[in-house]
Amino acid sequence: MLRLALHACIIAALTALTQLGGIAWALSRLSRHPFAVFAALYVGLALLAVWVAPLTGRTALSCFERGPLQVQSWFYCATNRTYVTPELKAVLEEASSQVEESYPGTQTLVLDANFPFLTGFPLLPHLSHDDGEKVDLAFYYADAAGDHYSGQVRSPIGYFAFEQGPTNCPDTLLSLRWDLDWLQPLWKTFELEPQRNRLLVETLARDQRVAKIFIEPHLKQSLGLTSDKIRFQGCRAARHDDHIHLQL
């Protein structure tokens, strides 16, 4: 009974993390070599999803092409978190190309997007990334002299390196607004590159296909952004001064 409960927990965890991993783990238990079979099944399912997901309205952002739009980490590719609708993919490609035209060599980095299948299936810890129409983008960073760090972010996966600024949010345990103060000294001491960040957000805000952009109010003010599409996500949601959230 304990063994069954353990495998049930593993299936649940892999499903929550990758959507497809739970299926691979469950099927691999039928083999005499479960770990090798699990690895083979998972890779096979992940590759199959690249071909099947477009039939259900989502497409994978490329993890191999080298252009102005890139996935930030192998982690997002390996966990099937790079899927978006064709419309959102077009928005991202056009916006990143416009930034690259103004600042040659600039790479716009994608963080979490969506899983390949099932509208309403949340991409934890994001509750709203469940329909292929939401995506997170990394900020652009620079050194103290203002020179852009192309393709680099402060933390290994682009999240949780917060830009500190004034907030009206109270400290409370009933919230997903993690401050993670103990992590902050571990990150690189890059600074936000204002020109590229401003251009990207303004370009996205002008796009009629874009409905909302979430960043913290202090960043909207410091970057000189004015569009009504640029909003505060609320005090009970995760902080958005470590990334940009975009949705159609």
Distance of CA 240 to the CA centre of its chain: 12
Mean pLDDT computed over 219-241? 94
Residues 70 and 184 in one domain: yes
Going by the DSSP 8-state scheme, the letter that residue 54 receives in this structure is G
Are 236 and 171 within 8 A, CB to CB?
Answer: no
Residues 106 and 120 in one domain: yes
The residue out of 38, 56, 74 marking a domain boundary is: 56
Domain ranges, residue 28: 1-56
* pTM reported for the whole predicted model: 0.94
Domain count for the chain: 2
pLDDT at 176: 78
- Positive or negative torsion for Cα 217, 121, 85, 113: positive
Q: Which of 49-53, 114-118, 155-159, 177-181 shows the lowest mean pLDDT across its residues?
A: 177-181
**How far, in Å, CA of 103 to CA of 99, rounded?**
6
Residue located via tokens 């390996």: 78
Mean pLDDT computed over 56-85? 95
What would the pLDDT profile of 2-48 be if each residue is shown by its tens digit? 888 999 999 999 999 999 999 999 999 998 899 999 999 999 999 99
Residues 68 and 158 in one domain: yes
What would the pLDDT profile of 168-203 be if each residue is shown by its tens digit? 888 776 777 888 999 999 999 999 999 999 999 999
What would the pLDDT profile of 87-133 be if each residue is shown by its tens digit? 999 999 999 999 999 999 999 999 999 999 999 999 999 989 999 99
